[in-house]
Structure 1
Amino acid sequence: MTGPAVDVHAHLLLPEVDALVAGQPGLAHAKALDARRNGPQALSVSGPMVAARIPLLTDPAARLAAMDTQGVDVQLVSPSPSHYHYWADELTARQIWAAAHTATAAHCATAPDRLRGLGLVPLQHPHLAVEALDHALAAGLLGVELSSHAPGVELSDPALEPFWARAAETGAVLFLHPFGCTLDERLDRWYLSNTVGQPTENAVALSHLIFSGVLDRHPALKILAAHGGGYLPTHIGRSDHAWRARPDARGCAHAPSSYLRRLYFDSLVHDPCVLRELVRAAGADRVLLGSDFPFDMGTEDPLAALAAADLPPADHAAVRGANAAALLGL
Structure 2
Amino acid sequence: MTTDVHAHLLLPGLHAEVERRVPELVAEAADLERRRNGVESLQASGAMIGARIPKLTDLGARLAAMDAQGVDRQWVSVSPNHFYPWAPEGLAVWVAMETNRLVAAHVAGAPDRLTGLGVVPLQHPERIVECLDDAILGRGLAGVEISSFAGDVELSDERLEPFWARAAQLGAIVFVHPFGCSLDERLDRFYLSNTVGQPAENAVALSHLIFAGVLDRHPDLKIVAAHGGGYLPFAVGRSDRAWHVRPEAHRCEHAPSTYLRRLWFDTVVHDPVALRHLVEVAGAARVVLGSDFPFDMGLDDPVAFVRGAELPAELVDRILSANAEALLESRVRA
Task: Report the TM range for the smaller structure's normalisation.
Answer: over 0.9
SS in 2 for 1:10: strand
The question of 1:54 aligning with 2:53 is answered: yes
- Give the superposition deviation at 1:17: 1.7
Q: Deviations over 1:61-98 (max 9, x none)?
A: 00000000000000000000000001111111121112
How far is 1:16 from its partner? Answer: 3.1
Q: Equivalent residue for 1:11?
A: 8
Q: Which residue of 2 aligns with 1:101?
A: 100
Deviations 1:237-267 (A, max 9, x none): 1101111111121010000000001000001
Matched positions, count:
327
- 2:6 and 2:292 in contact (8 A); partners too: yes
Name which of structure 1's ranges 305-314 and 203-212 shifts more when overlaid on structure 2. 305-314
Deviation at 1:227, TM superposition (A): 0.1
Q: Which residue of 1 aligns with 2:258?
A: 258
Contact 1:11 1:80 in 2 (8 A): yes
Runs of 4 or more above 6 Å deviation = none
Q: Deviations over 1:123-174 (max 9, x none)?
A: 1100011011000012011111000001111000000000000000000000
Does the 8 Å CA contact 1:16/1:100 hold for their aligned counterparts? no
Q: Name the structure 2 match of 1:192.
A: 192
- Identify unmatched segments of 5+ residues in structure 1: none
Given that 1:20 and 1:96 are in contact with CA atoms closer than 8 Å, whether structure 2 keeps it comes out as no
Query: Quick one: distance in 1 between partners of 2:262 and 2:123?
Result: 26
Partner SS for 2:144: strand
Which residue of 2 is the match for residue 28 of structure 1? 27
Aligned equivalents of 2:111 and 2:74: distance in 1? Answer: 10
Once residues 204 and 103 of structure 2 are traced to their aligned partners in structure 1, the CA distance between those partners, rounded to angstroms, is: 29
Deviation string 1:20-61 (CA, Å, 9 cap, x unpaired) is 211412111111111100001101100010011010000010
Residue 114 (structure 2) aligns with: 115
Letter in 2 for 1:5: T
Sequence identity (%):
63
Tell me how far apart the structure 2 counterparts of residues 222 and 28 of structure 1 sit (CA, whole Å): 35
Residues 156 and 212 of structure 1 are in contact (CA less than 8 Å); yes or no, is this contact kept in structure 2? yes
Counterpart residue number, 1:167: 167
Aligned-partner SS, 1:118: strand
- SS at structure 1 position matched to 2:203: helix
Residues 227 and 266 of structure 1 are in contact (CA less than 8 Å); yes or no, is this contact kept in structure 2?
A: yes
AA aligned to 1:78 is S
Query: 2 CA distance for matches of 1:58 and 1:181?
Result: 26
Q: CA deviation at 1:225?
A: 0.2
Alignment of 1:140-179 (within 5 A): 140-179=140-179
Compute the TM-score of the two structures, normalised by the length of structure 2.
Answer: 0.97
How far apart are the structure 2 equivalents of 1:153 and 1:252?
20
Q: What is residue 77 of structure 2 aligned with on the other side?
A: 78
Distance in 1, Cα, partners of 2:71 & 2:329: 17
Q: What is the DSSP-based 3-state SS (H/G/I as helix, E as strand, rest coil) of the residue aligned with 1:22? A: helix
- Give the 3-state SS of the residue equivalent to 2:185 in structure 1: helix
Provide the rounded CA distance (Å) in 1 between the counterparts of 2:107 and 2:310: 32
Unpaired segments ≥5 residues, structure 2: none
Is the CA contact (8 Å cut-off) linking 2:93 and 2:120 kept in structure 1?
A: no
**What per-residue deviation string (whole Å, max 9, x for no partner) do you get for residues 280-316 of structure 1?**
0000100000000000000110011111211111111
2:3 partner letter:
V
Cα distance in structure 1, aligned partners of 2:120 and 2:57: 21
Q: Distance in 1 between matches of 2:181 and 2:85?
A: 14
